[in-house]
Structure 1
Amino acid sequence: MSDTGLPSGGSIFTSLPDVLFIPEFVFGGLVWTLIASTSVTAANPLGWIMFVSIFCFFMTTLWFFIFLTGKNKSSIWPNLDVGYHATAALFYLSASVLLAYVTTQLKAQSSSSVEFFRIYQLFIAAVVMAFFTTFLYCIHAILSAFRRMSS
């Protein structure tokens, strides 16, 4: 094993960008939950949005436990760290834009029912959480890239 400059164990809770794992879990999980609580119609891209949120949630969980257990000491891990977080940021960006589009289309169908308004509010909350999660993954990817270049 070589020293990769990557933290492991409890030090991931005190180092940037690894402290971002927790908000990535929380806000990514919120996107997943908010979308899952709405209805899916055949003609919209909610399937992709659900895939991205579930995939990133589980991969970030796996990544978190790899770092927590110290299994990230091989020399390839800094590159994998940057690659994963950049890919997650790109996935979340595409999902966020699609979700914003679906939400605007939903608004165009405006209805005065209480159920419609509740679903519309869930979509708005999901859009906000998706863009915030995109931001977190972008920051994590950038800080991981800086860490990789400095090690």
Structure 2
Amino acid sequence: MAATTAQSMGMLPSGMEICTTAPDIFYLPELVFGGLVWILVASTHISPVNPLGWVMFVSVFCFVMTFLWMVMFAAGCHKSSPGWAAADFVYHGLAVIFYLSAGVELAYITLLRKSALPIGFQFYQIDIAAVVFAFATTLLYFIHAILSAIRWKHF
């Protein structure tokens, strides 16, 4: 068991191994939670149209990039190279920064929306759910980034 763990930390998985090894096991939860942020933010109505533009950009960009990254890892495009391990860490670190900033902006806009509660209570609840999922997605990307850094160090 210890040899398998040490071996998986020194190489990048491909194929279905991405569903069983850390940190790659986080791809699917990142996609699910990020997709929920995207759907929840898209389903609300904001009177000034653009304040959630950054949140939508982050959720769509990270969803698409994470999906492409997962497909490339599953296809074995990385050839278990240390450069790909570094790129994995950099991408997930960048996703953490993006999602943290988007979550903070979304929480701020949700607090501003609280003043119009009797009129838009349903949208307020959707915004709260989006904030929770944005910070949960940030946590998932953060854990993935830390585990990717550990794997990169072991190359």
Q: TM-score, normalised by structure 1?
A: 0.92
2:70 equivalent to 1:64:
yes
Q: Which amino acid aligns with 1:89?
A: V
2:97 equivalent to 1:93:
no
Residue 82 of structure 2 aligns to a residue whose secondary structure is coil
Find the counterpart in structure 2 of residue 109 from structure 1. Answer: 116
2:150 equivalent to 1:143:
no
Contact 1:44–1:102 (8 Å) recurs in 2: no
Find the counterpart in structure 2 of residue 20 from structure 1. Answer: 26
How big is each residue's C-alpha offset from its partner over 1:49-75, in whole Å with a ceiling of 9 and x where there is no partner? 000000000000000000010001233
Residue 144 of structure 1 aligns to a residue whose secondary structure is helix
Shift of 1:43: 6.5
Q: Which moved more, 1:32-41 or 1:136-145?
A: 32-41
What 5-or-longer segments of structure 2 have no aligned partner?
Answer: 1-9
What 5-or-longer segments of structure 1 have no aligned partner?
Answer: none
| Cα distance between partner residues in 1 of 2:19 and 2:78 | 15
Q: Which amino acid aligns with 2:102?
A: A
Find the counterpart in structure 1 of residue 83 from structure 2. Answer: 76
Residue 76 of structure 1 aligns to a residue whose secondary structure is helix
Shift of 1:133: 0.1
| Cα distance between partner residues in 2 of 1:87 and 1:52 | 11
Find the counterpart in structure 2 of residue 120 from structure 1. Answer: 124
| Cα distance between partner residues in 2 of 1:101 and 1:18 | 32
Q: Which amino acid aligns with 2:48?
A: A
Task: Indicate the RMSD between aligned Cα atoms, in angstroms.
Answer: 1.2
Q: TM-score, normalised by structure 2?
A: 0.90
Contact 2:82–2:152 (8 Å) recurs in 1: no
2:74 equivalent to 1:55:
no
- Structure 1 segments of 4+ aligned residues over 2 angstroms from their partners: 40-45
How big is each residue's C-alpha offset from its partner over 1:14-46, in whole Å with a ceiling of 9 and x where there is no partner? 000100000000000000000000113327520
Shift of 1:150: 1.1
2:23 equivalent to 1:30:
no
